[in-house]
C-alpha cells in the first residue's frame, strides 16, 4: 500500500541522534513537512492532536524535560502549522501514515517510539496497526481512540452542563451531523469564555497556549478545515488496541472532558501501563512533573533499545 520513494531533505548526512534543529522533509507527493529534531537518546516521533494543533506546544512546554531522555522528532503534519499542504488535497489517514514512514526513512531511523496527544492517539494506533515492526512502544497522552465516542460520552454532556443546557441534549441528536453539533458547542463556549473548562484546570492556561502560537508566522490551517470530510477519522480504533502488543503508556486525565476521564476503560492494549492523573487535557502545560514521572517510569520499565 505504501510507496518507497527517494526523499530530499536538508539535514546533512549524519545520524539524527547527533543532529538538532529544524528541517524540511519533502514527501513523495511533494509536501514539505516541518520537522524539529532536538535532544539525544532513543528517537521519539511526536504526533500532535487537534486535528491541526501542531507540534510546537509540546516542544515549548515539555521539550526541556523530554530532550534529556529522547531524540525528539517534532513533526507538524501535512496541512498544519509550519508544514505545507498537498496540491492534490490528499489528507487521508493512509497518506498520513505514509508521511510518518517517509520521515523515518529520511532520517535513517530503523525503529522508534511514538508519542501522541489527543487526536494523536488515533494516529498512533492506526500507524502501529500498519507498521508494528518499526514501533518499539507508544506513549498516548490524553489520547482518544474514538472521537465520536469521546464526543458522546464526555464532550457533549460536560459542555452541556457547563452551558446549563437542559435535557434532552441537542448535541446527542443523531439527525444532525456530528461536527455541526460539536461546532455549536465550541462556539457557545468561546462566546462565554468558558472553553477552558473543557480542557484546562486553570482559566489562564488557555491564554498561555494561544499566546504561544503567536511565535509562528503564516500558520497553515488547511487540515483542520477539511479533516471532517474523511470518515476514517471517526472510526472506532479501540478494538484494534487489543491486537497491538508493543508497550503502551496510556496517560489520562481525570478532569479531561475533551477525551473523557473514563475513555481508558474501553482501551485494551495487552502490554499497557495505565497512568491516571489529576489533570485536564493539557498536562504538558499544567502538570509537567507528573507527566514526566510517568514517561520516565515507562521508559525504565521497558528499557527500550
pLDDT digits (tens, 9 = 90+) for 148-201: 999 999 999 999 999 999 999 999 999 999 999 999 999 999 999 999 999 999
- Going by C-alpha positions, the residue among 186, 165, 181, 208 that lies closest to residue 258 is 186
**85-111 burial, b for 16+ CB within 10 Å, e for fewer?**
bbeeebbebebbbbbbbbbbbbbebee
pLDDT attached to residue 19: 54
Q: Is the pTM of this model over 0.85?
A: yes
- pLDDT confidence tier of residue 210, bands split at 50, 70 and 90: confident
pLDDT attached to residue 7: 29
- Going by C-alpha positions, the residue among 42, 50, 45, 47 that lies closest to residue 17 is 42
For residue 1, the number of C-alpha atoms closer than 13 Å in the C-beta half-sphere is: 11
Residue 230: Cβ within 10 Å count: 16
pLDDT at 10 over 60: no
Enter the C-alpha cell of residue 112: 522508534
What's the CA gap between 117 and 283, in Å, rounded?
Answer: 10
**pLDDT mean across residues, the chain:** 92
CATH 3.40.50.1820 domain residues, the chain: 8-146+208-302
Task: Give the residue-averaged pLDDT of 80-85.
Answer: 96
Give the pLDDT confidence of 56-71 residue by residue, as tens digits: 999 999 999 999 999 9
Q: Looking at domain 8-146+208-302, what is its CATH homologous superfamily?
A: Alpha/Beta hydrolase fold, catalytic domain (3.40.50.1820)
Amino acid at each position: 500500500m505504501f510507496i518507497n520513494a527517494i526523499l530530499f531533505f536538508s539535514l546533512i548526512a549524519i545520524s539524527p541522534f547527533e543532529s538538532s534543529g529544524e528541517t524540511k522533509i519533502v514527501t513523495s507527493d511533494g509536501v514539505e513537512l516541518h520537522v524539529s529534531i532536538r535532544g539525544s537518546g532513543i528517537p521519539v516521533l511526536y504526533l500532535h492532536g487537534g486535528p491541526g494543533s501542531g507540534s510546537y506546544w509540546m516542544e515549548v512546554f515539555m521539550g526541556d524535560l523530554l530532550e534529556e531522555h529522547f531524540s525528539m522528532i517534532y513533526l507538524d503534519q501535512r496541512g498544519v502549522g509550519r508544514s505545507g499542504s498537498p496540491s492534490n488535497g490528499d489528507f487521508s489517514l493512509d497518506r498520513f501514515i505514509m508521511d510518518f514512514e517517509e520521515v523515518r526513512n529520511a532520517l535513517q531511523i530503523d525503529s522508534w517510539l511514538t508519542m501522541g496527544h489527543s487526536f494523536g492517539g488515533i494516529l498512533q494506533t492506526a500507524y502501529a496497526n500498519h507498521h508494528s515492526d518499526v514501533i518499539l512502544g507508544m506513549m498516548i497522552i490524553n489520547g482518544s481512540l474514538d472521537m465520536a465516542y469521546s464526543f458522546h460520552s464526555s464532550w457533549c454532556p460536560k459542555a452541556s452542563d457547563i452551558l446549563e443546557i437542559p435535557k434532552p441534549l441537542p448535541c446527542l441528536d443523531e439527525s444532525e451531523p456530528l461536527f455541526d453539533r460539536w461546532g455549536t458547542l465550541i462556539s457557545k463556549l468561546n462566546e462565554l469564555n468558558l472553553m477552558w473548562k473543557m480542557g484546562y484546570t486553570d482559566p489562564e492556561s488557555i491564554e498561555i497556549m494561544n499566546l504561544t502560537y503567536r511565535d509562528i508566522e503564516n500558520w497553515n490551517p488547511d487540515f483542520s478545515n477539511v479533516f471532517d470530510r474523511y470518515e476514517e477519522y471517526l472510526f472506532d480504533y479501540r478494538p484494534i488496541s487489543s491486537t497491538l502488543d508493543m508497550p503502551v503508556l496510556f496517560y489520562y486525565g481525570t478532569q479531561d472532558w475533551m477525551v473523557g476521564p473514563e475513555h481508558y476503560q474501553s482501551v485494551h492494549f495487552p502490554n499497557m501501563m495505565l497512568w491516571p492523573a489529576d489533570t485536564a487535557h493539557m498536562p504538558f502545560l499544567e502538570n509537567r512533573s507528573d507527566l514526566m514521572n510517568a514517561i520516565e517510569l515507562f521508559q525504565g520499565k521497558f528499557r527500550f533499545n
